[in-house]
Amino acid sequence: MRDGAQLFAMDARQVPPARHAAYFDAVTHYSRYEGGRSKNEDQETPPPSWDPTGEVVRSDRRGRSLQKVLALYPLLGPGTLHDEATRHILSEGEYYVLSMWHERTRAQSSRAPADSVVRRTQRAYVEFLKKELGKLSEKEQMRVARQLFSRDEAAARGAFEGFDRLGWALPMAQRAASRTDPVSLDTLEDEVVCPHREDAEGKLTRNASCNAGFHRAALGDDESRQRLSRFLAGADPRATRDVFANLRWVREPAVLDLFRDLEANARARTAAGRVLGDVFGSEGAWREQVRKEGYALYARRSDARGLALYMILSTDPHRGFEAVQAGVSPTIGPTELRGLLAVGPRGLDFLASGWQTLPFAKANLVGPQLGSTTKTSTLLELAAAVCREGKRGEIQALRTSMENAARASQLDRSRYDGALE
């Protein structure tokens, strides 16, 4: 016991390498060895004014212990003790550093002076992450990621002040988006970015839950949101797609602010607006916001009217163009329809349901997009719509477009056969 107490009192740099294991044992069993302190000494000391309930300072011994392990860590070579120290530090990062910033003690920790145990330990852990995070195993980094991007964003923001969380995560978003093969589950990129898979019809799916902590952090304030928007403006559009697909779990008004940040960038704007339509537009809490944003976008940007129509129609696919025409100016013409069809395969579905309400030739505009859909039902609906309209020139133009698409298609021609009859 005396030896343990003596070791606990030492600075890590004073400990001979042969005694590192004993020192680690002493400092991690602080309740036994912290200079002979009684278990209740911290509770018996009057709490400071910044922590009137004493909840933070009651954990000071735990903080002092972690500081000592963090000081020892750079002195350890590879081996069992190094691995054990890593596990201990990461555990205390969650159960001490982060926990001190949860709602119950957040106000006290934020008021704590710079020389308090809680703030000194916080800074020491952040310095550890800056130096060591990239050296940790993937599983260990995943554990840290769950701390950095905790569901309690306010706690993570306070606990990891000084660590560039977005700077660490954004390159992962780019790597995940650039992959030609899907990101595997149970990997660091999957944990942080939560990438989605897109099928042939453009539908996004994800076969795992997502904590969305990275996305919540990126919308935590204007500066972070603008940093994310700058990144997305220069990134693969799939990164924008994945970010917006996960923002539905965040439910922040800043989602639309981020979309507006991207308006000047056609690729990012289209990727974001398409997800707003496909994912947000069908959800009750978001439907009206997406519809309003679509109308506003139509009025704001002449080069984005096709995307605006996509967003509006996504909120009520059966509403048709006639109802939309009344709320937009200028009225929908060939240029706007061409832009709508270019957004994604659903554009053909919207056109099929509202074909006769658009008083101009449309069949030739459809041709370049026919290969984007794998749905035979969409092709049949387009054929039925043009036949109901009864304009022979349009019927022939659509037939020609479908024949060309059938010849060019790498898929089974049979999906065009019914529409061509």
Mean pLDDT score across all residues of the chain: 90
E strand or H helix at 204: strand 204-205
Tokens of 231: 């990144």
- pLDDT, one tens digit per residue, over 82-135 is 999 999 999 999 999 999 999 999 999 999 999 999 999 999 999 999 999 999
Hey, what amino acid is at 192?
A: V
Mean pLDDT of 212-224: 94
CB 348 within 8 A of CB 321: no
The predicted structure's pLDDT at residue 168:
97
Structure confidence at residue 179 (pLDDT): 79
Can you give the C-alpha Rg of the chain in angstroms? 29
The terminus-to-terminus CA distance of the chain in angstroms comes to: 92
Q: Helix, strand, or coil here: 286? A: helix
Buried b / exposed e along 167-196 (16+ C-beta atoms within 10 A): ebbbebbbbbbeeeeebeeebbbbbbbbbb
Distances (CA, A) of 62 to 31, 91, 197: 9, 12, 44
Give CA–CA dist 120/139, Å, rounded: 27
pLDDT at 207: 66
**Residue pLDDT, tens place only, 165-202:** 999 999 999 988 887 776 676 789 999 999 888 877 77
Residue whose C-alpha is closest to residue 343's, from 369, 317, 378: 369
User: Which two structure tokens, joined as six digits, stand for 8?
Assistant: 């606990």
CB-CB contact of 402 with 362 (8 Å): no
Cis peptide before 317 (omega within 30 of 0): no
* Of residues 299, 305, 307, the one with CA closest to residue 268: 307
Return the higher-pLDDT residue of 127 and 326: 127
Whether the per-residue pLDDT at 243 is higher than 50: the answer is: yes
| Residue labelled with tokens 């795992």 | 208
Q: At CB < 8 A and 24+ separation, what contacts does 131-135 make?
A: 131/74, 132/73, 133/168
Tokens linked to 199: 């099928």
Which of 181-185, 244-248, 354-358, 417-421 is least confident? 417-421
Q: Calculate what percentage of the chain has a pLDDT beyond 90.
A: 68
- The CA-CA-CA angle for residues 11, 15, 17, to 5°, reads 145
